[in-house]
Amino acid sequence: MTKLDEVRLQINAIDKEMAALFEKRMECAKIVAEAKKESGAPIEDLKREKEVLDRNAAYLKDQSLKEYYVLYQQNLMDVSKKYQRDLLNYNDKK
């Protein structure tokens, strides 16, 4: 097996773990959507998003990856917001 094959196997294993974590995160997003609906809170909270991005970026050991991780996290939050809007049948803008 080549080094490339070995690394791809590692990536496959990581992707499997990430899929399970994604499902857990989206289940939390569903609960958040329900709570927002009950309280009348908007789906989008830019102040909270910035706090989350800043906090999560600080978890990185390799800060040279920060730009990419923040982009990844922002995309994840955008997916979460879309899911929340879909769950609540909102047709508002992002």
User: Which residue type sits at 18?
Assistant: M
How far apart CA 81 and CA 49 sit, in angstroms, is: 11
User: How do the domains of the chain map onto residue ranges?
Assistant: 3-88
Which CATH fold topology does 3-88 show? Chorismate Mutase Domain, subunit A (1.20.59)
Summarize pLDDT for 30-74 with one digit per residue, the tens.
999 999 999 999 999 999 999 999 999 999 999 999 999 999 999
Residue 92 has pLDDT above 60, yes or no: no
Place of tokens 């040279």: 64
Per the prediction, the chain carries an average pLDDT of 95
Three-state SS at 1: coil
Q: What is the pTM of this model?
A: 0.87
Element (H, E) at 86: helix 66-88
